[in-house]
Amino acid sequence: MEKSLLIVESPTKVRTIKKYLGGEFEVKASLGHIKDLPTKLLGVDIENQFKPEFQIISGKDKILKELKQAAKKIHHIYLAPDPDREGEAIAWHLAEELAGKDKEFHRVLFHELSPKAIQEALAHPEELNEQRFQSQLARRILDRLVGYQISPLLWDKVKRGLSAGRVQSVAVRLICDREREIQAFVSREYWSITAALQADLPPDFEAKLIKAQGKAVKIANEQQAKTITDRLQQESFQVIHIDKKERKRNPLPPFTTSQLQQESFRKLRFPAKKTMFLAQKLYEGVEVGDEGLVGLITYMRTDSTRVSQEALTAVRHYIQGQFEAEYVPGKPHFYTNKKSAQDAHEAIRPTSMNLSPDNLARFLDKDLLALYRLIWNRFVASQMKAALFDQTTVDIQAGDFLFRASGSVLRFPGFTAVYEVGKDIVSPEEEEEEKKGQLPVLQVHQNLTLLRIIPKQHFTQPPPRYTEATLVKELEEKGIGRPSTYAAIISTIQEKDYVKKEKYFFSPTELGFLVNDLLVKNFPDILDVQFTALMENNLDQIEEGKQEWTKVLGDFYQPFSKDLDRARAEMKQVRGKGVKTDIICPTCGKPMAIRIGKNGPFLACSGYPACKQTQNFVRDEKGIIRPVNAETPQSDPSGKACPQCGKSMVVRNGRFGSFWACSGYPDCKQTQPISPEGQPSEEPSPPVISDQACPKCGGPMVVKKNRFGGTFLACEKYPKCKSTLPVATEFPCPTPGCSGMLVSRVARKKGLKFLGCSRYPKCKTMIWGKPVKETCPQCQAPFLVEKTTKKEGTVWSCANKECGYQQKQERD
């Protein structure tokens, strides 16, 4: 029987699929895209209907040569990259490169890697989808036109190495706009009054004051609160109305991509990038004992809530076996997709109800198991009955005042027996407000005993900063980007230093504010949220055959090119000049300007080079610039005392920025890092003692930081013993025959961190990237190296230079 060739994206898929196919198929991997636009050129012929100039990606020649060799004598070639736009582009380019007179290409869509799904997909292949390919092509060219024409402007006007993106820049704008809302917010004082009450039977309960003389109560200050409290002490409290009703809480649908990213952050605190990486592993296959590689979930890039009839039958049977029959609804739940949803794939669900998280616990690492359990529980819960609550609301009269108490009792848990929806990070007051206490048995006209009146001061709060979950939610609701790109967007804006993340919350950096303001002023359409959402809709219409891709690009480029020409002539020159502020130079009296240096933003005199005065600065919670003056140290405005001697802490400048130091220097040399708000950070934790002994004196070695931010081991007895060692990692040197381990090192000239062999100078191996604890599927090297490039985003490659294995992890 003649063999056929099946081409997928990743080697992991190859191993999973080979298990289920006989000898009639040869299975190969393309390792992601094989062709792309050139790296150093625009690669788009704007005058010729935006014709792209694709070329073989550097390093993919060897892979393409192997694929051509495998396809040489084969008639039927099945192209099975991922079932989305990017996968369609890969399939299209493979067909172009492997084309021949006797070749017949078939498009195969694997929505899950289970035996039945694979056989079904191969039995019913499709034609290559030109409209889906054109949609991806339009997106790629749009991103190239924006990125490759705005970024050089930023290099010239602001700083080398900056970048702009059609979607990433809008995400930065959302974060900048939110930060300015917070800075402009004026907090307002208000008070609440709660009555602690007692009935004939326990428990005691609380009721909140809601009305005074028939109108909604508003208590502005302590004096008003005291007046009302004094009056209430004289009143009798009586129940005047009781409302009891059944409340139903319905389960949520199984996960879409964006919902998985949001819930994974809320419940597991996984960043979107980590969530998608783990989900990719679950989809492509995980080693499960004697069964080998098994695909555990359906395709993880989807915005559909649809579930196959077979899966519905299986989960309903599972629920009936695990719970009582009353937990299974009479009919399966069907969930409505959003209007903009692509229904090509099912929702994210387990591939088999026989593979429960408990059964797989010994095969999966902690994070993989946590995400799989989340997906499993959400899917099971989505087909269970609603939870039922008895909700009671009680109105209580006290003279001219009306109080209200509410409480709920769970009568039937339903889906909550399996799954509770995660919540975004909220303030303690909001969390307290959500809690509903249990009420005693009460009757209308029943008199109550007042135990105490509780007045409480509050302040209105500014809108919260975005977390990964709320940013993904905002991007989805506003139609910015696609769920499959959110992880890459969030990762990119952090890597470019446009935003920073502190305790889960995003805020713009000075660079982020500066670049955002320039782009908003000069490219109002590109940075407009509604315009970006409209472009996403146009891309969807290209895929649906409702618009021509060249027309969409033409309609976009005509106004964009005018903005581009105007920006080249009018965009403010920041590089070398900075952005002027209201701060006056203490040396010459001219305005100080914010400039961006290689070590970050700083204040410099606008009279440079005649005046070379510079200062560091911080911003307060209102966004106001506070200079940090080295010559005249400032007292700590918070009044925090030195933890060593009790004297006040002051701001000083060092060669690597500002820091807090004891005003008793040199008698006391206590220092602390300075926070973005200008306050001393928490006291440094005690030194971390390693398990290594000093090679010179035998004393303990402790972890220290050098001036470049790298870590090393130093003898605890310093300065008596000045022995140091590099920090060893768990990764062995990848050079064949070398017995060394990789250790953390820092390049002296530029301060760049890298990993080097512990046997240096005998072995000079260097790793410029982040090691990942994954075995190379080609040469079985014990780890891969993660690198981020402008061309392909995040890529994992083998540390063994002779191997050449690469796998793209995220799509732009």
- DSSP structure class, residue 485: G
Closest by CA to 526, choosing from 230, 189, 143, is 143
Residue 367 identity:
D
- Residues 167 and 173: their CA atoms lie apart, in Å, by 10
Cβ–Cβ under 8 Å, residues 251 and 384? yes
- Residues 703 and 687: their CA atoms lie apart, in Å, by 7
Whether the upstream peptide bond of residue 152 has omega within 30° of 0, thus cis, is: no
HEC profile for 617-657?
EEECCCCCEEEECCCCCCECCCCCECCCCCCEEEEEEECCE
- Count other C-beta atoms under 10 Å from residue 132's C-beta: 25
Cβ–Cβ under 8 Å, residues 346 and 302? yes
Q: Which two tokens stand for residue 124?
A: 């019913």
- DSSP structure class, residue 251: P
Closest by CA to 805, choosing from 791, 787, 694, is 787
- Residues 697 and 725: their CA atoms lie apart, in Å, by 13
Total length of the chain:
812
- Residues 784 and 798: their CA atoms lie apart, in Å, by 5
- Residues 109 and 341: their CA atoms lie apart, in Å, by 18
What are the Cα distances from residue 175, in Å, to 24, 509, 516? 53, 10, 10
DSSP string covering 521-545: HH-TTTT-HHHHHHHHHHHHHHHTT
Secondary structure class of 548 (helix, strand, coil): coil
Cβ–Cβ under 8 Å, residues 59 and 806? yes
Q: Which residues pair with 604 in a beta bridge?
A: 593, 614
Instruction: Describe the strand order of the beta sheet including 4-8 as a list of residue ranges.
Output: 25-29, 4-8, 76-79, 104-107
Q: Which residues pair with 192 in a beta bridge?
A: 456
Burial class (CB in 10 A: 0-12, 13-18, 19+), 83: buried
Q: How many helices (H) and strands (E) does the chain have?
A: 18, 39
- DSSP structure class, residue 65: H
Catalytic residues: 299
- Residues 639 and 642: their CA atoms lie apart, in Å, by 10
- Residues 709 and 715: their CA atoms lie apart, in Å, by 18
- Count other C-beta atoms under 10 Å from residue 685's C-beta: 6
Closest by CA to 396, choosing from 386, 406, 385, is 406
- Residues 569 and 133: their CA atoms lie apart, in Å, by 37
Residue 67 identity:
L
Burial class (CB in 10 A: 0-12, 13-18, 19+), 452: exposed
Dihedral sign (CA 736, 741, 742, 746): negative
**Exposure string (b/e) for 324-345, b if CB count within 10 Å is 16 or more?**
eeebbbeeebebeeeeebbebb
CA dihedral 809, 502, 482, 370 (to 10 degrees): 60
Half-sphere exposure of 622 (CA within 13 A, CB side): 6
Cβ–Cβ under 8 Å, residues 401 and 233? no
